[in-house]
Amino acid sequence: MTTAMPLLKEREKQVYEKGKGEFNLKCDAKSTAGAVSQRACVFCGSRVVLYPVADAMHLVHGSIGCASYTWDIRGSVSSGPELHRLCFSTDLREHDVIHGGEKKLARSLRELVPLHKPRAVFVYSTCIVGVIGDDVEAVCRKATEDLGIPVIPVQSEGFNGTKKDGYKVACKALATLVGTDNETPVSDISINILGEFNLAGEAWVIEDYYKRMGVEVVSILTGDGRVDKIRKSHRAALNVVQCSGSLTYLAEEMKEKYGIPYIRVSYFGIEDVSKALYDVAGFFQEKNPEVMERTMELVREEVGRIQPQMAQYREKLEGKKAAIYVGGAFKTFSLLKILRTLGVDVVMVGSQTGNKKDYELLESMCDPGTVIVDDSNPMEMSQFVIEKDADLFIGGVKERPMAFKLGVGFCDHNHERKTALAGFEGTLNFAKEVSASALSPVWRFSPRRAGKLRFEGENNE
Ligand code: SF4
């Protein structure tokens, strides 16, 4: 595409403006060296998926920087234990790099497990462990025997792919727990919620809907996660997968191994939350038609409650322009729909890890002129925000400073958010945040946007 700022040649095929030429976006590729990708490493990918398991110990085998980089990386609130919020590391030094870190890892496990009494331990391999070739699996096997709890290796050497590969590694680690409890009774009308990380209490909002519908939630992977619940999760009737980029690998494996079907859903926005609940109710229709009746009642009640306030936000936001850049592409579909409901035009949208199918759907949903980007970087995104004159950026922690420097509103839809944005209540919270940020009077002091935002009768000079 043509922009005032020339793109790196290697990046040209990962950027497209709807309506300009044939759509054939390059994606699912390694990041271009020197392009300053927003993507994180394999270790970080596995860490964000496993982190919310609150009664497990998370031991980072590597140099201390990897541990501090991911310490308390997401909100992921817990209704009970908070062991996940402590960050443990073997703190490998030069001596360990030369002589190997296996003994130090075994020693750390022997010391830490009796002290903190976790229900399981996840041991993450980082870059340096891959380089020196520690046999982490063997150390974990021995520790499992000696300590009497699952000590699970997470083969997440940072250089070994992208963040997305970290999701697969995390699913592999979770799969070693799934299927290890065949005793605890589980209802026929039951599900697991996959890909919900309870960043700001969303898992509780969604779990409450299912309770009201009469559906048992066996396990949430991994928000407010518990080892014992994961162990019996293979006996649920259905897997309901959100954030499909991260947990689909586990859903696939559970389908193959235990015959549990799965559906993909989103809990963002009135349309998608309602559809998610109806899809689950539809699955149990034959076994228990009352689930559908209760779901209809729930949706009617919740939509009726938030609709009038959503209409008020729409009045204020009509005609504003937004840019979106998030980790997984699935979230972009819901965000496009919610913003449309609020009268906001999406002028740029992209993701770190979308695949061909995701982008084809995304392109079909966008208006002409919308810029679609894969694996973008701050320089490119800043340029598009300026060229398209966006009023608001929706992204994660890495996009926040960029948005504020450009003088546009920002809504955190990622790790660091403190307000639940899922479910009906979350949709209303989202509208409130978007409105507060995009319409904040502070932007009148932004030199770039001063003219645009000048208030009647005011002089910005
Ligand atoms: S695993 Fe490697 S890339 Fe990831 S934080 Fe550690 S050193 Fe950096």
Q: What percent of the chain has pLDDT over 70?
A: 95
CB distance 409 to ligand 1 below 6 Å: no
Q: State in Å: Cα 267 to ligand 1 middle.
A: 32
The whole model's pTM is what? 0.90
Neighbours of 282 (CB within 10 A): 14
- Give the whole-angstrom CA distance, residue 309 versus residue 314: 9
Cα 6 from Cα 228, distance rounded (Å)? 53
Predicted confidence (pLDDT) per residue in 369-387, tens digit: 999 999 999 999 999 999 9
Distance 383 CA to ligand 1 centre (A): 29
267 within ligand 1 shell (Cβ under 6 A): no
Mean pLDDT of the chain: 92
pLDDT bin (cut points 50, 70, 90) of residue 335 is: very high
**Cβ of 277: how many Cβ atoms within 10 Å?**
29
Tell me the C-alpha to C-alpha distance, in Å, between residue 96 and each of 58, 66, 152, 326, 377.
Answer: 20, 16, 21, 37, 36
Beta strands in 175-333 (DSSP E): 190-196, 216-222, 238-241, 262-264, 321-326
Mean pLDDT of the 304-321 span: 96
Ligand 1, atom 6, residue with closest C-alpha: 66
Residue 455 reports pLDDT greater than 70: no
What pLDDT was estimated at residue 246?
A: 86
What is the structure's pLDDT at 453? 46
6-39 tens-digit pLDDT = 788 899 999 999 999 999 999 988 888 888 888 8
d(CA 429, CA 419) in angstroms, rounded, equals: 7
Q: How many A from CA of 129 to the centre of ligand 1?
A: 10
Query: Confidence class of residue 4 from pLDDT cuts 50, 70 and 90?
Result: low
Q: Is the distance from the beta carbon of residue 124 to the nearest atom of ligand 1 less than 6 Å?
A: no
Task: Give the pLDDT confidence score for residue 449 in this predicted structure.
Answer: 66
pLDDT tens-digit readout, 63-76: 999 999 888 888 89
- Contact status, residue 27 vs residue 355, Cβ threshold 8 Å: yes
Q: How far is the CA of 41 from the centre of ligand 1 (A)?
A: 6
Tell me how far CA of residue 48 lies from CA of 40, 51, 252, 273, 329, in angstroms: 10, 5, 20, 24, 17
**Cβ atoms 226, 213 nearer than 8 A:** no
Cα–Cα nearest to 348, from 386, 400, 318, 397: 386
In this predicted structure, what is the pLDDT of residue 3?
A: 58
Measured in angstroms, how far is the CA atom of residue 69 from the centroid of ligand 1?
9
Which residue CA neighbors atom 3 of ligand 1 most closely? 158
Q: Which residue has its alpha carbon closest to ligand 1 atom 5?
A: 66
Is the predicted pLDDT of residue 456 greater than 60, yes or no? no
Q: What percent of the chain has pLDDT over 90?
A: 81
Sequence-ordered strand ranges (E) for 197-351: 216-222, 238-241, 262-264, 321-326, 345-351
pLDDT at 5: 61
Domains of the chain: 42-175 (3.40.50.1980), 190-302 (3.40.50.12380), 318-417 (3.40.50.1980)
Which contacts (CB < 8 Å, 24+ apart) does range 381-388 have? 381/323, 381/325, 381/348, 381/350, 382/406, 383/3, 383/4, 383/5, 384/3, 384/323, 384/347, 384/348, 385/323, 385/348, 386/448, 387/3, 387/4, 388/321, 388/323, 388/347, 388/348
Choose between 443 and 429: higher pLDDT: 429
State pLDDT tens for residues 229-260. 999 999 999 999 996 678 999 999 999 999 99
Report the distance separating Cα 225 and Cα 122, nearest Å: 13
Q: How far apart, in whole angstroms, are the C-alpha atoms of residue 158 and residue 251? A: 24
Lowest mean pLDDT among 103-107, 228-232, 340-344, 397-401: 397-401
Q: Does 223 sit in the ligand 1 pocket, CB within 6 Å? A: no
For residue 40 and ligand 1, the question of a CB distance below 6 A is answered with no
Q: Is the CB of 126 under 6 A from ligand 1?
A: yes
Residue pointed to by tokens 């009746």: 293
Q: How far apart are CA 267 and CA 277, in angstroms?
A: 9
- Between residues 243 and 262, the one the model is more confident about: 262
